[in-house]
Amino acid sequence: MFLRPFVCLINTHSTLWTFLLLCPALAQLLCLGPITILEQRPLAFACKCSIEKVRSVIAGLSAEDISAALQSRGHLEIIFNLCNEVYRFDAEQVAAIRSDFCP
C-alpha cells in the first residue's frame, strides 16, 4: 500500500524531496520536520569526468592489467559509467601517461 506511490515516483524520475513533500507523514517519521522549498531549479546533468581523471586511473592500474588489456584489445579503454564517455589509449600513450606519474 505505502510503497506503491513511492515506486511510482521513483520510476517517473521524481526526487525523494518531491516524495517527502507529497507525503508529510513520512517526513515526520524520518524526523525531518516540515519541509520548505527554498529554491527551485531545473535538473541538469553534468558529468565530472576529465582526461586528467582518466590519466590518474591509468597511473593507478597494475602493469599486469594494462598488459592484459593491450594484448586482448590492442588498446586500453576506460568508460565512465555516468556519462558513457569512452577514452581509448594505445600502448605508446599509456607508456607516456605512466612515465608522467611513475618516473
73 within domain boundaries: yes
13 against 74, higher pLDDT:
74
Domain containing residue 71: CATH number: 3.90.1280.10
**pTM of model > 0.75:** no
- In the structure grid, which three cell numbers stand for residue 22, read together? 507529497
DSSP per-residue letters across 47-90 = ----HHHHHHHHHHS-HHHHHHHHHHHSSEEEE-TTT--EEEE-
Residue 82's pLDDT band (boundaries 50, 70, 90)? confident
102 against 61, higher pLDDT:
61
Domain that holds residue 4: 1-41
Q: Are residues 34 and 66 in the same domain?
A: no
58 against 26, higher pLDDT:
58
Residue type, 57: V
46 within domain boundaries: no
Q: Are residues 5 and 29 in the same domain?
A: yes
Average pLDDT over residues 62-90: 91
CA dihedral of 18, 20, 23, 25, whole degrees rounded to 10: -170
Average pLDDT over residues 52-69: 91
Least confident of 76-80, 88-92, 99-103: 99-103
